[in-house]
A and B are shown apart, each in its own frame.
Chain A
Amino acid sequence: DVKVTQSSRYLVKRTGEKVFLECVQDMDHENMFWYRQDPGLGLRLIYFSYDVKMKEKGDIPEGYSVSREKKERFSLILESASTNQTSMYLCASSSYQPQHFGDGTRLSIL
């Protein structure tokens, strides 16, 4: 079974803080993804990576950056957290399809 692990289930941070969300997969997948899920908006792609040190912007990259130094690990970085970044963040990995998701991090920015 594919295992995608997100480091925190719940996180509370303050406006202006630099926030790191970590994701690890155990299936040697080339592709990794970060989404955010908001009520009524579905899943929106923030960034994805198709190889170590490679990244591409998704649909809503503003205010975010990513890091992929090792194949199994993909980090999402909120450079200066703002209240409109309060959301559920979901990490996924895949070879092709389907993508396999972690359980999410519910992030609150106060």
Chain B
Amino acid sequence: DQQVKQNSPSLSVQEGRISILNCDYTNSMFDYFLWYKKYPAEGPTFLISISSIKDKNEDGRFTVFLNKSAKHLSLHIVPSQPGDSAVYFCAASARFSGGSNYKLTFGKGTLLTVNP
């Protein structure tokens, strides 16, 4: 059973516009969420995270929003740049919920293409 779902395998946007990547989760024990970015032939790199006590976290062009009641989070990239073209993975952990707080459960990823 997939506990972290990224329902859009791909997304295409124009340079300068907003990219919105979505992620849903089913496990209510998850309380910490991360986004990773992955280029081909490289390992994933950490982008931004959010704790369940917040509903928004911002870092430059990247903002993550968390809606706990809907078990939904999204990553906004504004403005989008061609160098943002990569696969984006959503991940979740049960950091303070008594589970294995260092384990991550990943979604299947969304391929973002930013067109010049």
Q: Are A101 and B44 in touch, CB under 8 angstroms?
A: yes
> Are B41 and A104 neighbours in the complex by a CB distance under 8 Å?
yes
- Interface of A, secondary structure class, is strand
Interface residues of A in 8-31 (CB under 8 A from B): 9, 31
In the complex, A46 has a CB within 8 A of chain B: no
Number of residue pairs spanning A and B whose beta carbons lie under 8 angstroms apart: 58
Query: Is the contact region of chain B dominated by helix, strand, or loop, or is it mixed?
Result: loop
Contact with B along A34-75 (1 / 0, CB 8 A): 010000111111001010000010100000000000000000
Chain B residues lying within 8 Å of A100, measured Cβ to Cβ, are 46
0/1 string, B12-29, CB within 8 A of A gives 1: 000000000000000000
Beta-carbon contact of B41 and A97 below 8 Å = no
Which A residues are in CB contact (< 8 Å) with B102? 31, 48, 50, 94, 96-97, 99
- In the complex, which residue of chain A has the Cβ closest to the Cβ of B6? A42
Determine which of A40, A101, A103 lies in contact with B108 in the assembled complex, contact meaning CB atoms within 8 Å: A40
Spell out A's residues near B (CB within 8 Å).
4, 9, 31, 35, 40-45, 48, 50, 56, 58, 90, 92, 94, 96-104, 106
The list of the 10 closest CB pairs from A to B, nearest first, reads A101-B43, A42-B108, A98-B46, A43-B106, A31-B102, A103-B43, A101-B44, A42-B106, A102-B43, A42-B109
